[in-house]
Amino acid sequence: MRPDHALPDSPEIDLGPRARAFRAELRAWLAENRPDPAAASESPGAVRGSAALEAWGEKLRRAGYLCITWPEAYGGRGLSGVEVAVMNEEFARAGVPRVTRGMGESLVAPAIIVHGTEEQKARLLPRILSGEDRYCQGFSEPNAGSDLASLETRGVVEGDELVVTGQKVWTSWYWDATMLFCLCRTDPGASKHGGISYVLIPIRQADGSPNGVTFRPIRQITGQKHFAETFLEGARAPLTNVIGGLGNGWAVTRTTLGNERGGSATTQHTAFAAEFWKLVDALRARGRTGDPVVRQQLAWAYTQVELMRFQGLRLISSVATGGDPDASASIHKMFWSEYARRFGEIAMNLLGAEAMIRDDDGRLSRWQASFLGSRSHTIWGGTAEIQRNIVGERVLGLPREPEA
Amino acid sequence: MNLAPTPEQEDFRRSLRRFADDHFDAKSVRRWMAGDMGFDPVLWRKMGAELGLQAIWIPEAYGGHGFGFVELGIALEELGRRLAGGPFLASAVLGAGAILNAGCEERKRALLPGIASGETIACLAVSEPDGCWEPGALATEARAADGGWRLDGVKSFVLDGHVADLVVVAARLPGTGGEEGIALFTVPGDAPGLSRTLLPSLDETRKQARLALDGVQAEPLGEPGRDGPALVKTLDQAAIALACEMVGAAQLVLDVSVEYAKTRVQFGRPIGSFQAIKHKCAEMLLSVETARSAATYAARTAALDSGEVPIVASLAKAHCAEAFFHCAAECLQIHGGIAFTWEHDAHLYLKRAKSSDLLLGDATFHRERLARRIVL
């Protein structure tokens, strides 16, 4: 971790000739091409934002720096997680935002590439790449959380369309989305995992009129509204938008999980490191860093962030020599999400009484936001308990729980 | 730098594991732990003759094989799995390290080849009865006398100090304090005035001794009074080495626990199918994996002699100790009553884990050092 303090430099990881060449290419390109400063201040990975960020995204697209893990035939560069890691590192080093196509790029496209027909690839992938189609997710339901396969949303074939009715929940990025990638039950007579289909539903019809998809924002414990409930009332999608064929949706969801293949391994810790040093600064300003108890907790937190960096370096070293990053994904999720939660608690504890009070404008302080926001990390994308099941069963080979 | 092992390092690990599985079986380890020496001298020589283990990290110029710290880490990990190695940590890491870091050319040439061949067993005496590994806390005094040096003081918790042929002693010059005035000396194991007592250690697989020095004649390694940095570096390297050893042991208790969870049946199904046990195993794997990352990264920085070593050493020592203890404790819990018996090996790992945590400074000590080293 390289904070604003004089710590010794870490040795750079050698990821092999292809990654070296890609790094050199990126450095040369970034030296010549800079975004409008207005774009640089936006959050990395944003799908859409200001005009400046849009323009920067377009520039990256023309240069071939969007969706680089997709096959070349569909506008990508056929690169691996190692080059994604290099890209994240170099963009961070240059202080410019990396633009992604969000869940369309990382979740929907891999499903289309693996399970889609040639017609679907040719039609749908360019629209993700251009930013024309922006996806949000319709998987979880009020009665299907960790047990996703128990979902009840129905899909009925009518002519050459699928008509979808039901309710989804925890839909993030809903405010910006044009498409919903959705799981629904198309064969109620089939087995639990059998009758599920994976379908891409337009949020509006071609003429702009509603398509039976409405969002109701959910207020979270932070007061923000980043999620919505999604109501599907006869929402229509052409059957050509069913990926992998009717009834094959469960298998398709499995591939969507393997997205960037370790690409964030070497950069994910940087945000946690920045947060850590901000807490150190806050405690220094209050004259608290001499307290042995405070020092123990800070050293512990520093250790966890460094462990995240070491884990990432070891993962990417392994991927660069042919290893499979998927096995460690759940371990990684357990580690960072539970650290984030603990860090939020530590920050509140170390700041003491003042952490009970919001900022003057009534908003959450940075530390309150971190404390509250981090509670979601051990829930979304598979709870901490589900991650432990996955690690136990798929990594350690322990027997599954018998079906109820 | 790349954190993935090279094919050569994988081969090295495989041959070491074979050797350790063949020679350091539980029965033998228990036999040695019941004795005073704590190891088998014949096997110690074999470790040198067949694998060249004691020579691994010592440069070729001094009779060693000149491999890096990464290979040393692999060796420790494989020995750690089996709670094996006898005085390997004491001699090949602590003793050899102190000589390498502090010794003048002449003394290195004189002392290291014997350690490399396994003929000489060395040890490093730093901590005293107060159990502090902070160089500043040293009280043992070195005074110039009769054109030479004499040492007075008491050393404790000295790994394999009761059998070492060569004792490296950390002392300080009269009237000095803190990290100033530190001096490293060598003393033969049978020197007049040196009395050695085997301590009844909790972890019986690793022997410790108390050494009383009463005007013992000693030979300086480097420049008496200026050895502080060399001692600090030696202790940092030793912390990293011990971290690697703990990773090997933690992996073993995880493997054993998972195997047991798959086969032990209660309520009509393997206990590993219950989330209570499955989740414990997943958490153990998380501990082992993060510990492995820390130890691997730390060994790489030590191999490169990078400026990061002081920070990473304390970080890895603290984290690996807690990870190993977590795994050893859960191993006992997952096995249930059988693991509370003397005949089951779980207690050997539990005792090794707690002792390794306390050895060279516990996690709290190392976190404070880490805090200081990241300028908090």
Q: What is the pLDDT of residues B187-244, one digit of tens each?
A: 999 999 999 999 999 999 999 999 999 999 999 999 999 999 999 999 999 999 999 9
Q: Do the beta carbons of residue B69 and residue B58 sit within 8 Å?
A: no
What pLDDT is recorded for position B187?
98
Domain limit, last residue, from A82, A100, A118: A100
- With an 8 Å Cβ cutoff, are A302 and B3 in contact? no
C-alpha distance from B288 to closest chain A C-alpha (Å): 11
With respect to residue A254, please indicate whether it lies within any of the assigned structural domains. Answer: no
- With an 8 Å Cβ cutoff, are B315 and A306 in contact? yes
Of residues A182 and A262, more confidently modeled? A182
With respect to residue A10, please indicate whether it lies within any of the assigned structural domains. Answer: no
Q: Do the beta carbons of residue A103 and residue A173 sit within 8 Å?
A: yes
- With an 8 Å Cβ cutoff, are A303 and B261 in contact? no
> Would you place residue A5 in the very low, low, confident or very high pLDDT band (cuts 50, 70, 90)?
very low
- With an 8 Å Cβ cutoff, are B371 and A298 in contact? yes
With respect to residue A11, please indicate whether it lies within any of the assigned structural domains. Answer: no
With respect to residue A119, please indicate whether it lies within any of the assigned structural domains. Answer: no
Q: Best residue in A396, A401, A403 to probe B by mutation, most B CBs within 10 Å?
A: A396
- On whether both A91 and A139 belong to a single domain, the answer is no
**Token pair recorded at residue B18:** 């074979």
- With an 8 Å Cβ cutoff, are A310 and B262 in contact? no
Domain limit, last residue, from A217, A248, A279: A248
* Residue in A6, A318, A397 closest to B4 by CB: A318
% of residues, chain B, pLDDT over 70? 100
Residue A269 in this model has a pLDDT that exceeds 50: yes
**Token pair recorded at residue B348:** 């050997």
> Would you place residue A260 in the very low, low, confident or very high pLDDT band (cuts 50, 70, 90)?
low
The angle formed by the CA atoms of residues B155, B157 and B158, to the nearest 5 degrees, is 70
C-alpha distance from A320 to closest chain B C-alpha (Å): 9
> Would you place residue A9 in the very low, low, confident or very high pLDDT band (cuts 50, 70, 90)?
low
> Would you place residue A38 in the very low, low, confident or very high pLDDT band (cuts 50, 70, 90)?
confident
- On whether both A307 and A377 belong to a single domain, the answer is yes
Rounded to an integer, the average pLDDT of A154-163 is 97
With respect to residue A92, please indicate whether it lies within any of the assigned structural domains. Answer: yes
C-alpha distance from A358 to closest chain B C-alpha (Å): 27
- With an 8 Å Cβ cutoff, are B285 and A321 in contact? no
C-alpha distance from A385 to closest chain B C-alpha (Å): 7
Q: Do the beta carbons of residue B172 and residue B155 sit within 8 Å?
A: no
- On whether both A29 and A144 belong to a single domain, the answer is no
Q: What is the pLDDT of residues B138-168, one digit of tens each?
A: 999 999 998 999 999 999 999 999 999 999 9
What pLDDT is recorded for position A43?
57
3-state SS assignment for residue A395: helix
Instruction: Please report how the helices B69-81 and B228-263 are oriented relative to each other, as an axis angle in degrees rounded to 10.
Output: 40
Cα separation of the two ends of chain B: 28
Residue A10 in this model has a pLDDT that exceeds 70: no
What pLDDT is recorded for position A267?
86
**Token pair recorded at residue A355:** 């952490």
- On whether both A297 and A332 belong to a single domain, the answer is yes
Q: What is the pLDDT of residues A288-302, one digit of tens each?
A: 999 999 999 999 999
Rounded to an integer, the average pLDDT of B250-269 is 98
**Token pair recorded at residue A130:** 């251009």
Alpha-carbon distances of A36 from A51, A97, A100, B300, rounded to whole Å: 10, 11, 17, 40
ipTM value for the complex = 0.95
- On whether both A282 and A358 belong to a single domain, the answer is yes
- B194: β partners: B213
Rounded to an integer, the average pLDDT of A15-36 is 92
In 3D, which of A302, A334, A319, A301 has the Cα closest to residue A265? A319
**Token pair recorded at residue A16:** 């092999």
In 3D, which of B271, B248, B270 has the Cα closest to residue B334? B271
CATH (domain of A73): 1.10.540.10
Domain limit, last residue, from A76, A100, A124: A100
Nearest chain A alpha carbon to B286: A331
Residue A2 in this model has a pLDDT that exceeds 80: no
Q: What is the mean pLDDT of chain A?
A: 91
Query: For chains A and B, what is the number of CB pairs under 8 angstroms?
Result: 150
With respect to residue A239, please indicate whether it lies within any of the assigned structural domains. Answer: yes
- On whether both A232 and A279 belong to a single domain, the answer is no
What does the alpha-carbon distance between residue B107 and residue A132 come to, in Å, rounded to a whole number? Answer: 73
- On whether both A307 and A346 belong to a single domain, the answer is yes
> Would you place residue B2 in the very low, low, confident or very high pLDDT band (cuts 50, 70, 90)?
confident
**Token pair recorded at residue B174:** 């009269």
pTM of the model: 0.94
The catalytically annotated residue of A83, A90, A260, A275 is A260
Instruction: Please report how the helices A329-351 and A292-320 are oriented relative to each other, as an axis angle in degrees rounded to 10.
Output: 160
- On whether both A180 and A274 belong to a single domain, the answer is no
With respect to residue A370, please indicate whether it lies within any of the assigned structural domains. Answer: yes
What pLDDT is recorded for position A11?
66
List strand residue ranges (DSSP E) for A208-318, in order: 213-218, 227-238, 242-243
Residues of A with Cβ-Cβ distance to B275 under 8 angstroms: 385, 388-389, 401
C-alpha distance from B87 to closest chain A C-alpha (Å): 30
- On whether both A307 and A372 belong to a single domain, the answer is yes
- Helix (H) or strand (E) holding A154, with range, is strand A154-158
With respect to residue A121, please indicate whether it lies within any of the assigned structural domains. Answer: no
Of residues A141 and A264, more confidently modeled? A141
- Helix (H) or strand (E) holding A109, with range, is helix A109-115
* Residue in A314, A388, A395 closest to B296 by CB: A314
Report DSSP letters for B77-121, one per residue.
Answer: HHHHHTT--TTHIIIIIIIHHHHHHH--HHHHHHHHHHHHHTSS-
Q: Do the beta carbons of residue A123 and residue A115 sit within 8 Å?
A: no
What pLDDT is recorded for position A1?
53
- On whether both A278 and A358 belong to a single domain, the answer is yes
Residue B82 in this model has a pLDDT that exceeds 70: yes
Question: Which structural domain range is residue A300 located in?
Answer: 263-394
**Burial of A237: CB neighbours in 10 Å, binned 0-12, 13-18, 19+:** buried
Alpha-carbon distances of A288 from A283, A293, A347, rounded to whole Å: 5, 10, 12
Q: Do the beta carbons of residue A92 and residue A264 sit within 8 Å?
A: no
DSSP 8-class letter at A45: T
Rounded to an integer, the average pLDDT of A116-131 is 96
- A132 flagged as catalytic: no
Q: What is the pLDDT of residues A51-66, one digit of tens each?
A: 888 899 999 999 999 9
Q: Do the beta carbons of residue B86 and residue B78 sit within 8 Å?
A: no
- On whether both A276 and A376 belong to a single domain, the answer is yes
What does the alpha-carbon distance between residue B321 and residue B325 come to, in Å, rounded to a whole number? Answer: 6
CATH (domain of A196): 2.40.110.10
- On whether both A278 and A333 belong to a single domain, the answer is yes
* Residue in A15, A311, A397 closest to B290 by CB: A311
Q: Do the beta carbons of residue A142 and residue A213 sit within 8 Å?
A: no
Report DSSP letters for B175-237, one per residue.
Answer: T--TTTTEEEEEEETT-TTEEEEEE--SSTTS-EEEEEEEEEEEEESS-TBB-HHHHHHHHHH
Q: Do the beta carbons of residue B296 and residue B69 sit within 8 Å?
A: no
Residue A101 in this model has a pLDDT that exceeds 80: yes
If one counts the domains in chain A, the total is: 3
What pLDDT is recorded for position A4?
46
- With an 8 Å Cβ cutoff, are B274 and A401 in contact? yes
Rounded to an integer, the average pLDDT of A212-234 is 95
**Token pair recorded at residue B333:** 């819990």
Q: What is the pLDDT of residues A321-358, one digit of tens each?
A: 888 777 788 899 999 999 999 999 999 999 999 999 99
What pLDDT is recorded for position A80?
86
CATH (domain of A305): 1.20.140.10
Rounded to an integer, the average pLDDT of B298-306 is 95
